[in-house]
Amino acid sequence: MPVTAAPRRAPAVVAHRRAALVWVVALSAYAAAVFHRSSLGVTGVDAADRFGINAAALATFSVAQLAVYAAMQVPVGVLLDRYGSRRLLLVGGTLMVAGQLCFALATDVGLAVTGRVLVGLGDAMTFISVLRLVAFWFPGRRNPLLVQLTGALGQLGAVLGAVPLVALLHATGWSTAFLVAAGLGATTVTMVAVAVRNSPDRGVPAAPPPALALVRRRLVEAWAHPGTRLGLWTHFVTPFSGAVFALLWGYPFLVQGQGLAPTTAASLITLMIIAGIGFGPGIAQLCARHPFHRSALVLSLVAVTATVWTAVLVWPGPAPRWLLVLLVLALALNGPGSMIGFDYARTSNPVHRMGSATGIVNVGGFVASIVLVLVVGVVLDLATPAGHTAPTLDAFRWAFALQYPLWALGVVQVLRYRTANRRHAAAQAAQTGAAPSGDPGQ
């Protein structure tokens, strides 16, 4: 009986599976980065005890991490356009592993801060590298959904950085917990090395990296487009409240200010992360169906967050549990809302300068987060009465009230660059004699 050859898979099916594999592994690398980034959030109280520091000094850990992240976004965007996603994911993952090793072994503030700096440096290389892979491996019509899914599912790393990390820390101790974190990071670096490629065109010889002069010109062109700046301010105004809550000050606020048990506080932060994963695809669908109204969605999300925070801050005494649940659900909208900024970068720039434009946009939210992390720590120390070993609820109220100036600045700038983007689209349409294409930022 003759042997029948196995049917060959259609090239389109193989290409689809390869793209899915690349995305899943890159997503795992981003989830690991989020885990490393957020690992300080639920261990802040333990870190203050371990290193014998106050709230302002504890804030320097997160500020160092976030400042490096924000400062590296534009340089990383340039490197991404020059060298591609795979190299940056490998280097970034290795730096984060080194950072967690430093944090695991640190007994003094200096080495601990060094660890957070390394985490921030590696983290800076990760997310925009994944977005560039999405742009190269998938058709444009699928980009909004995949970007939202990447941002949302990546937050599963923060879920690991909440209740499981707290349980591991209290069961095994500081060093063991962060050595396990470093091991998780090393695993994802290995996966990236095996599975990720920069583009589907594997058989085509790689083009030489563009000259630095060309890269600089692309960066200038990306910055000059008002759609990129609209994306920057969208990313500024949407994520900082939820990011600061998850990265550092939410856990102390819930435990020390609201009087919740540590496991309850960690569970609320986990709820916030899981809800954000659920909200992401819905926001992506709204953006895809109503691309001319993305900025209206951004402003609505900011209004919801500010309104719920106001209710929590003015409530006499500790807020009821249902209101705290409502708060974390409102904060869960922040991360998916910030992804709209990257959609502006995508629709405003050609793919060859996507890294530069995405890096510019990604600066926004982390600059706002740095400012808020730092000022919350300073205000907590100033507003805590003498003799108290932990901040009071009133101290937390004063500290979190500093979010309102940041929201006001961001809203004004979103409105400003929405108008500029409309004018730019109208001018382009007038030159070509065609109807405006893309999204004028309405």
DSSP 294-336: HHHHHHHHHHHHHHHHHHHHHSSSSPPHHHHHHHHHHHHTHHH
The predicted structure's pLDDT at residue 327:
97
| Whole-angstrom distance, CA of residue 334 vs CA of residue 398 | 22
Closest CA to 207 of 377, 84, 34: 84
Closest CA to 325 of 402, 270, 371, 243: 270
The predicted structure's pLDDT at residue 14:
64
Which distant-in-sequence residues (6+ apart) come within 8 Å of 7 by Cβ?
Answer: none
Angle at 405 between CA 404 and CA 408, to 5 degrees: 85
Other beta carbons less than 10 A from residue 348's beta carbon:
24
Asked whether the beta carbons of 330 and 304 are under 8 A apart, the reply is yes
Give the length of the chain. 442
Could you tell me the pTM of the whole model? Answer: 0.73
Taking the domains of the chain in order of start, what are their residue ranges?
17-199+211-432
The predicted structure's pLDDT at residue 323:
97
**The tokens of 388 are what?**
């108290």
Amino acid at 260: L
The predicted structure's pLDDT at residue 193:
93
Closest CA to 147 of 175, 128, 171: 128
* CB neighbour class for 150 (10 Å; exposed up to 12, middle 13-18, buried from 19): buried
pLDDT in tens, the chain (442 residues): 444 444 455 556 667 888 889 999 999 999 999 888 887 776 777 787 788 887 777 878 878 888 888 888 778 877 887 788 999 999 999 999 999 999 888 888 889 889 989 999 999 899 889 988 888 888 766 777 787 788 778 878 877 766 677 778 878 888 888 898 899 899 999 999 999 888 787 544 445 556 667 767 877 888 888 889 999 999 999 999 998 998 788 988 999 999 998 889 888 988 998 898 888 788 878 887 887 888 899 999 999 999 999 999 999 999 999 999 999 999 999 988 998 998 888 888 887 777 778 878 888 888 898 899 889 988 998 888 877 777 899 999 999 999 999 999 999 999 999 998 888 878 877 776 655 444 444 5
Asked whether the beta carbons of 133 and 117 are under 8 A apart, the reply is no
| Whole-angstrom distance, CA of residue 253 vs CA of residue 393 | 8
| Whole-angstrom distance, CA of residue 300 vs CA of residue 211 | 42
| Whole-angstrom distance, CA of residue 73 vs CA of residue 118 | 14
The predicted structure's pLDDT at residue 314:
96
DSSP assignment string, 383-404: HSPTT-SS--HHHHHHHHTTHH
Asked whether the beta carbons of 92 and 26 are under 8 A apart, the reply is no
Amino acid at 185: G
Closest CA to 167 of 265, 264, 263: 263
How many Cα atoms sit within 13 Å of 360 on the Cβ side?
A: 28
CATH number of 17-199+211-432: 1.20.1250.20
**The tokens of 417 are what?**
């660059």
Separation in Å, CA 206 to CA 201, 209, 239, 267: 9, 9, 37, 47
